[in-house]
Chain A
Amino acid sequence: EAQVTQNPRYLITVTGKKLTVTCSQNMNHEYMSWYRQDPGLGLRQIYYSMNVEVTDKGDVPEGYKVSRKEKRNFPLILESPSPNQTSLYFCASSFGDSDTQYFGPGTRLTVL
């Protein structure tokens, strides 16, 4: 089954404790992206990747890192999480930036 998976689905952590949210897709998509969703603000793009080893900043990259060492994986790293990073996070993938994006189920992160 074609899908985008994210782990963990739910995470409660404390300020400053490094964490990684994994994202994996099995559709051989070149394009992957991370979004955060906050009430009243819609989805905002954090980082995106056009292909392996090619990443670029979205609209809200501060406080986040990404890497794309393999085509199927695109982890999101929070080196020192802060409470303002409490949000619902989505990973998405597609063949190209102008194509249909397939979204993962979301990761609800709470930073205390």
Chain B
Amino acid sequence: SQQGEEDPQALSIQEGENATMNCSYKTSINNLQWYRQNSGRGLVHLILIRSNEREKHSGRLRVTLDTSKKSSSLLITASRAADTASYFCATPASDSWGKLQFGAGTQVVVTP
């Protein structure tokens, strides 16, 4: 079963706008990761946030984590056409050490 679920499933914005997507998970975690996937290609790690962190930045990316609500958000500021991709959150599975579970992803389309 999926641990993380992203919302929305799809997002269409124009260049320069901000894109926000959310991830909800079901059980306690020690970290949450965000990945990007360009069409049909391998996933690329964006950012990892640990359970004792509330916010983390990396370039135009901002990730928040609210462990009380079991949710995380990824904000992409000043989006570019090159940000067009699918974005996934991933969390360690609660029932077994070593398993990593991904959500179904948010498909982001940035139009020039």
Binding site for B on A (CB under 8 A): 4, 31, 33, 35, 40-45, 48, 50, 56, 58-59, 88, 90, 92, 97-106, 108
Query: In the bound complex, what is the Cα–Cα distance between A4 and B88 (angstroms)?
Result: 20
Number of B residues contacting the other chain (C-beta, 8 Å)?
A: 26
The 18 listed contacts between A and B (C-beta, < 8 Å) are: A4-B42, A35-B102, A42-B2, A42-B103, A43-B43, A45-B99, A88-B40, A92-B43, A97-B97, A97-B100, A98-B31, A99-B48, A101-B33, A101-B90, A103-B43, A103-B44, A104-B42, A106-B42
A-B contact count (CB 8 A): 65
Query: In the bound complex, what is the Cα–Cα distance between A42 and B3 (angstroms)?
Result: 11
Binding site for A on B (CB under 8 A): 1-2, 30-31, 33, 35, 40-45, 48, 88, 90, 92, 96-105
In the complex, the answer to whether A97 meets B40 with C-beta atoms within 8 Å is no
Given the contacts A33-B100, A43-B102, A45-B100, A97 and B41 also touching, CB distance less than 8 Å: no
Q: Across chains A and B, which 8 residue pairs bring their CB atoms closest together, nearest first?
A: A103-B42, A42-B104, A43-B102, A97-B98, A100-B45, A103-B43, A42-B102, A105-B42
Most buried by B among A35, A92, A98, A99: A98
In the complex, the answer to whether B48 meets A100 with C-beta atoms within 8 Å is yes
In the complex, the answer to whether B42 meets A59 with C-beta atoms within 8 Å is no
B24: min CB distance to chain A, Å? 14
B74: min CB distance to chain A, Å? 15
In the complex, the answer to whether A58 meets B30 with C-beta atoms within 8 Å is no
Where chain A touches its partner, the secondary structure class is: strand
> A105 to chain B: which residues have CB within 8 Å?
41-42
Q: Which residue of B lies closest to A106 (CB)?
A: B42
In the complex, the answer to whether B43 meets A90 with C-beta atoms within 8 Å is yes
Query: In the bound complex, what is the Cα–Cα distance between A90 and B105 (angstroms)?
Result: 16
B105: min CB distance to chain A, Å? 6
Q: Tell which of A4, A44, A56, A92 touches B96, judged by Cβ atoms closer than 8 Å.
A: A56
Query: In the bound complex, what is the Cα–Cα distance between A100 and B101 (angstroms)?
Result: 13
> A48 to chain B: which residues have CB within 8 Å?
98-100
